[in-house]
């Protein structure tokens, strides 16, 4: 059965660990799509920690921007596929100069690809709209577009979980 699980929450709330544990309970053929780019030493260290936390049994693909093409080119039919994370993907698209309408069009197309994928997918993202209002236009734009992207992806998901201090709360 094709199930889409959407996991959101704040930074360091346990989203990725919960996604990994959930995926390991679903199937043995597991894929992991990482959207992070190692643009500095600190991010490189974070990526390495994530790699180690996955351990063996994972096929990792790194795709910071073109998730549409990646899905078209998948050679393996995974029992479960994790996409981690949408927030970095949105940031990467913004850094490439895409406007909000283009990002939402790509997200809409991507949501249709995910629905058409005939196996389990776990999507990890950050919930950005619960803190203070960003003090600059770019920060507010990022928060707003990430919120819209999250809404699109949550709407096509079978389950939505909100992580709070390592505890998943099922909201859909």
* Matching residue, tokens 């998730």: 67
**What domains are there in the chain, each with its CATH number?**
4-170 (3.40.50.300)
How much is the pLDDT for 44?
Answer: 66
Would you say 30 and 79 are in contact if contact means Cβ atoms under 8 Å apart?
A: yes
pTM of this prediction?
A: 0.91
Which residue in the list 38, 47, 50, 158 is annotated as catalytic? 50
How much is the pLDDT for 47?
Answer: 66
Q: Is 50 a catalytic residue?
A: yes
What's the Cα-to-Cα distance from 125 to each of 1, 7, 77, rounded to whole Å? 23, 6, 23
CA 126 – CA 142 distance, rounded (Å): 12
pLDDT tens for the chain, residues 1 to 172? 689 999 999 988 999 999 999 999 998 899 999 997 766 777 667 767 767 777 778 888 889 999 999 988 887 788 999 999 999 999 999 999 999 999 999 999 999 999 998 889 999 999 998 888 889 999 999 999 999 999 999 999 999 999 999 999 999 9
Beta-carbon contacts of 20 under 8 Å, excluding residues fewer than 6 positions away, are: 53, 54, 82
How much is the pLDDT for 38?
Answer: 66
How much is the pLDDT for 19?
Answer: 96
pLDDT digits (tens, 9 = 90+) for 29-63: 999 999 977 667 776 677 677 677 777 788 888 89
């Amino acid at each position: 059965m094709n199930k889409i699980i959407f996991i959101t929450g704040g930074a360091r709330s346990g989203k990725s660990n919960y996604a990994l544990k959930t995926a390991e309970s679903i199937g043995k053929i597991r894929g992991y799509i990482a959207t992070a780019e190692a643009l500095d030493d600190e991010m490189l260290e974070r990526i390495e920690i994530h790699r180690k936390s996955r351990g063996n049994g994972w096929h990792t693909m790194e795709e910071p921007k073109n998730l549409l093409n990646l899905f078209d080119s998948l050679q393996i039919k995974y029992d479960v596929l994790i996409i981690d994370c949408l927030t970095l993907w949105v940031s990467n698209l913004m850094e490439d100069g895409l406007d909000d309408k283009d990002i939402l069009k790509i997200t809409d197309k991507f949501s249709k690809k995910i629905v058409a994928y005939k196996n389990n997918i776990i999507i990890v993202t950050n919930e950005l709209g619960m803190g203070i209002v960003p003090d600059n236009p770019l920060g507010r734009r990022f928060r707003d577009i990430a919120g819209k992207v999250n809404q699109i992806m949550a709407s096509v998901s079978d389950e939505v979980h909100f992580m709070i201090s390592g505890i998943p709360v099922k909201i859909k």
